[in-house]
Structure 1
C-alpha cells in the first residue's frame, strides 16, 4: 500500500510560518539556497511520489506556483517536478479547482484509504497546518520527513497543534546539511 509522507520545512521551535505567514527563514539554512545535499534529498524524494495532497490555502499559494523569470535551473527543475504529480485539494469550501486537481471535501479517511490502495508511488502530504492536523488525528500519516532549519521564530504557525492522539515514531535517519538537519521518521503502528 502507498504511504502518506509529510515532508515539510520547520524551524527549530516548530513553526512552519512566521506570525504573518513569512517563510523568509527558509533562506537561513547556513548555505546557498541550492545546497547540494538538500537539493539531492528533495530530488530523491520527488522520485518516490506521484501524488500530492494539499489543503486549500497551501494549494492556492503553491499548487500552481511558477518560478519567476530568471529563476535558477534547480528551482525550475524543482517546480517542474512538483507540477508533474497528481494533485488532490482538501477543502470544506471549494467544490472544484481549475485544472487537474481533484477536490475532496467529505469522508476524508475513506477517500484517502481508497487512494492509498491504488497502484502507484507514495503520496506527499504537503500541508498546510489544518490538513496536517486532520491527517494526524485520523492516523493517516505514515512517514515524517522534516527539514529543521536553524532559526527560532518565537511565534507563528506551529507544525503540530491540536493533535488529539499520541504519535510514536521510529527515527530512520538524520542528515546534516549546511545548518539544516533532515530528519526521517516512520510512524509506529
Structure 2
C-alpha cells in the first residue's frame, strides 16, 4: 500500500447482521478486557464519523453514568482528529466536515502522515465507503445475540471479495474476524 494510511472499519455486529436494534439500542454490545480495545486505539489517530454516529458519540461524552474506564477511552478518542461526513453540519474546532468529493478528500487524508484511520460511521457511510472501495480492513466483532430486526450492517449493491486474515475469540462468545479486500491482501 506504499505507506499510505489505512481505513479500518471496526465495529460490533449481531449474529444476524445488525449494528443496532430498531430503536438504536446497542445494549447487547460486549466489551471485555481480553478484547484490548486500547491496542486498536493505539493504531489510529483519525476517525471518520457519519453525522448521526458523531451526534450519538457526543451524547456519550455527556453521559454521567459511564465508568471511569469508559471516560478514559472517550478522552483518547476525543484527542484524535475527527472528520464528519455531513451535508447539514458545519466544521468546528473539534471536527472537520466533509460533504463533497468524498473519494478525493478521503484519498488526500490517507496520503497524509499519521496512523491509520478508524471508520466509525453508520451503515450509510459504511456502504458509501464500500461502494468506493475505500475500506482497507474490516474488523467485525460478531456478538452472540440475535435481534431479529434492526439496522443492518451492510446494504451493498455490488459484490466484494474479502480475504480472512485473523480470527479472535473471547470468553463472552464474541468472535472477531479481520478481513482485507481481496485486491489488497
Secondary structure of 2:87's aligned partner: coil
TM-score (norm: length of structure 2)? 0.91
Unaligned runs of 5+ in 1: none
Unaligned runs of 5+ in 2: none
- Residue 17 (1) aligns with residue 20 (2): yes
- Residue 91 (1) aligns with residue 91 (2): no
Whole-Å separation in 2 of the counterparts to 1:63 and 1:89: 12
Task: From 47, 56, 75, give the equivalent of 2:70.
Answer: 75
Moved over 3 A (4+): 67-71
Whole-Å separation in 1 of the counterparts to 2:58 and 2:108: 22
Whole-Å separation in 2 of the counterparts to 1:76 and 1:19: 27
How many Å apart are 1:182 and its aligned residue? 1.3
Whole-Å separation in 1 of the counterparts to 2:64 and 2:25: 22
> Kindly tell me: are residues 121 and 172 of structure 1, through their superposed partners in 2, closer, same or farther at Cα, counting changes over 3 Å?
same
TM-score (norm: length of structure 1)? 0.89
1:97-147 deviation line (CA, Å, top 9, x unaligned) = 443200000000000000000010000000111100110011101101111
Secondary structure of 2:105's aligned partner: helix
How many Å apart are 1:64 and its aligned residue? 6.3
Whole-Å separation in 1 of the counterparts to 2:149 and 2:66: 30
Count of residue pairs the alignment pairs up: 179
Whole-Å separation in 2 of the counterparts to 1:164 and 1:117: 28
